[in-house]
Amino acid sequence: MANQQLITVLSLLLLLPLAFTSVAAGHVEYLPLETNIDVAVEGTVYCQSCDHHGTWSLTKAEPIPAANVSIICKDHKNRVSFYKVSTTDKSGYFYEILKGFTMKHYILDHPLHGCTVHPVSSPLANCRLVTNINYGLDGASFRYEDKRLFGTNYEAVVYTAGPLAFRPAHCPPKIHY
């Protein structure tokens, strides 16, 4: 008789976790759907005025429509893990979702540490030389400015880079009196 009671108790103890698993599984269907979180970067590209050649000033600068910038992300071993070219709109503004970007290491592969934006080409014949404004030559780092976009089951973390600039190849010499 004691043997039969022991078997019954052990059977109940073995089945107990299954009961709670099925109860918990019943609640899973009521949880909200998984939200996709994208990473995006935005910025503006300008043509620097000859008045400020050799400085980081963008006073009198004009936005460049159809300029190309490259977005490069490297992992913690300095290997390129993401590359994309983005084109500016009529206001010189670019916004690019980094589709396919993944972080293999949560901290070391973060966009703030490993992603940069480089000015690539300008469609303006009189403004094609890359400047080093905001470190454009080495790549402007991403900045986090607490900007997020929300939608139904969607979220995007938006980083900023730049502004970036090209400059004219020939500027008239400044006359100092």
Please provide the DSSP assignment of 16-27 as one string.
HHHHHHHHHHHH
The rounded distance, in Å, linking the Cα atoms of 147 and 77 is: 28
Mean pLDDT computed over 44-48? 96
The pLDDT, as a whole number, for residue 90 is 96
Provide the b/e sequence for 12-50 (b: ≥16 CB within 10 Å): eeeeeeeeeeeeeeeeeeeeeeeeeeebbbbbbbbbbbb
Please give the model's pTM, rounded to 2 decimal places.
0.73
With a cut of 50, say whether residue 159 has pLDDT above it: yes
The pLDDT, as a whole number, for residue 107 is 64
Helix, strand, coil shares of the chain, percent, nearest 5, are 20, 35, 40
The pLDDT, as a whole number, for residue 31 is 46
The rounded distance, in Å, linking the Cα atoms of 50 and 122 is: 16
4-14 pLDDT, tens digit each = 665 555 555 55
Residue for token digits 């589709």?
99
Q: Confidence band (pLDDT; 50, 70, 90) for 28?
A: very low
Residue for token digits 């599984």?
25
The pLDDT, as a whole number, for residue 62 is 95
Q: Confidence band (pLDDT; 50, 70, 90) for 64?
A: very high
Classify residue 90 by burial, with Cβ atoms within 10 Å: 0-12, 13-18, 19+. Answer: exposed
Q: Confidence band (pLDDT; 50, 70, 90) for 22?
A: very low
Look up the CATH architecture of domain 36-167: Sandwich (2.60)
Arithmetic mean of pLDDT over the chain:
81
The pLDDT, as a whole number, for residue 29 is 47
The pLDDT, as a whole number, for residue 100 is 82
The rounded distance, in Å, linking the Cα atoms of 115 and 162 is: 12
Q: Residue 147 forms beta bridges with which residues? A: 158
Residue of 104, 103, 46, 94 lying closest to 70 (CA atoms): 94
